[in-house]
């Protein structure tokens, strides 16, 4: 009887891991604490808050200290690499050794916004990849309109040594499988629920389930029917249901496997 009850409870209890969020964003200034305090009872029992600008890196650490289920990533987004210098890189290396820090991210290349020169973006991407390798931390990769350069640099520099997540994957299913071969996980978020998101749906179908993690990138990229509104980890069941529909399997299976994948890639069970 007890076992049966426990089985039922397990089916009801959601276990969701948001592998990429920005809860320090000003979009959450009004209700951040209220929202985060309700996460665990809503089934969201793991969140990794990303670094993007320097301020985000520091604020992620503060959030991670405050909420035991929230972890920090330390890294500078390609749009903000102009903020980096030797001193800040040394500080990032220091943060990588803290118990709150589970990854280096988000780092990569962005040729869409093109806020910094490609040369500068590549230089700091490589240096942050090396930092991750030295700290033995997984990476969280941002790549926009820069698929080939990102892949080439990662293959040359990293070749899957520390592993990590390719966030908001947008190039092609074929490229996603190349990253899987290198040992990476593919982050699937709200875009998979958009009607016109052909590539993301192909990716969600083609990548083995044991290589998929879910993410929000909140406050951005809210899934349908909330598209355009503020996103949060509470909307992740919509992403999980979309992946399940595309693959023709149960949502609870997607939820359980992506949860385990997230803990594995961020090495939370070691």
Out of 18, 56, 100, 217, which residue is the one contacting Ni ion (CB under 5 A)?
Answer: 217
What's the rounded Cα separation, in Å, for the pair 259 and 69? 13
What's the rounded Cα separation, in Å, for the pair 183 and 152? 15
Q: How many residues bind Ni ion (CB under 5 A)?
A: 1
Give the residue with the Cβ less far from Ni ion, 14 or 57. Answer: 57
Coil/strand/helix, residue 113:
coil
Give the residue with the Cβ less far from Ni ion, 71 or 244. Answer: 71
Q: Which stretch binds Ni ion (CB under 5 A): 92-100, 144-152, 214-222, 262-270?
A: 214-222
Give the residue with the Cβ less far from Ni ion, 14 or 235. Answer: 235
Give the residue with the Cβ less far from Ni ion, 107 or 204. Answer: 107
Q: Which stretch binds Ni ion (CB under 5 A): 27-35, 66-74, 111-119, 215-223?
A: 215-223
Give the residue with the Cβ less far from Ni ion, 116 or 217. Answer: 217
Give the residue with the Cβ less far from Ni ion, 132 or 244. Answer: 132
Q: Which stretch binds Ni ion (CB under 5 A): 53-61, 84-92, 180-188, 213-221?
A: 213-221
What's the rounded Cα separation, in Å, for the pair 267 and 73? 13
Query: Quick check: 115 and 77 in contact, CB under 8 A?
Result: no
* Shortest separation between residue 84's beta carbon and Ni ion, angstroms: 17
- φ/ψ region of 248 (left if φ > 0, alpha if ψ in -120 to 50, else beta) reads left
- From residue 143 to residue 172, what is the string marking binding to Ni ion with x (rule CB under 5 A)? ------------------------------
By the rule CB under 5 A, 56 interacts with Ni ion: no
Q: How many residues does the chain have?
A: 270
> Sheet of 164-166: strands edge to edge?
16-21, 44-49, 70-73, 101-110, 139-144, 164-166, 184-188, 212-214
* Shortest separation between residue 42's beta carbon and Ni ion, angstroms: 21
Q: Which stretch binds Ni ion (CB under 5 A): 5-13, 147-155, 190-198, 212-220?
A: 212-220
Give the residue with the Cβ less far from Ni ion, 100 or 217. Answer: 217
* Shortest separation between residue 49's beta carbon and Ni ion, angstroms: 10
* Shortest separation between residue 159's beta carbon and Ni ion, angstroms: 24
* H/E segment holding residue 5: helix 2-12
Query: Quick check: 137 and 106 in contact, CB under 8 A?
Result: no
Query: Quick check: 240 and 43 in contact, CB under 8 A?
Result: no
Rg (CA), the chain: 18
Residues paired with residue 230 on neighbouring β-strands, in sequence order: none
Q: Which residues bind Ni ion (CB under 5 A)?
A: 217
């Amino acid at each position: 009887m007890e076992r049966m009850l426990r089985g039922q409870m397990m089916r009801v209890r959601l276990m969701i891991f948001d592998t990429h969020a920005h809860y320090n964003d000003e979009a959450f200034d009004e209700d951040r604490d209220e929202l985060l305090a309700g996460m665990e009872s809503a089934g969201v029992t793991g969140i990794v808050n990303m670094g993007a600008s320097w301020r985000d890196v520091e604020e992620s650490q503060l959030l991670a200290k405050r909420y035991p289920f929230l972890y920090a990533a330390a890294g500078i987004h390609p749009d903000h690499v102009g903020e980096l210098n030797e001193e800040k890189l040394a500080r990032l290396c220091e943060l990588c050794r803290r118990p709150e820090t589970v990854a280096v991210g988000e780092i990569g290349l962005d040729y869409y916004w093109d806020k910094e020169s490609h040369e500068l973006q590549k230089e700091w991407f490589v240096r942050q990849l090396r930092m991750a390798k030295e700290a033995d931390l997984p990476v969280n990769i941002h790549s926009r309109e820069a698929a080939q350069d990102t892949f080439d640099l990662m293959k040359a520099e990293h070749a899957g040594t520390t592993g990590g997540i390719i966030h908001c994957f947008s190039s092609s299913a074929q490229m996603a499988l190349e990253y899987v071969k290198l040992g990476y996980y593919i982050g699937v978020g709200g875009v998979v629920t958009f009607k016109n998101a052909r590539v993301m749906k192909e990716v969600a179908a083609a990548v083995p389930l044991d290589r998929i993690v879910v993410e929000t990138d909140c406050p951005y990229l809210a899934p349908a029917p909330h598209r355009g509104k503020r996103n949060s980890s509470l909307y992740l069941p919509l992403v999980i249901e979309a992946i399940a529909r595309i693959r023709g399997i149960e949502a609870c299976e997607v939820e359980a496997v992506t949860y385990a994948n997230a803990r594995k890639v961020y090495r939370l069970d070691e």
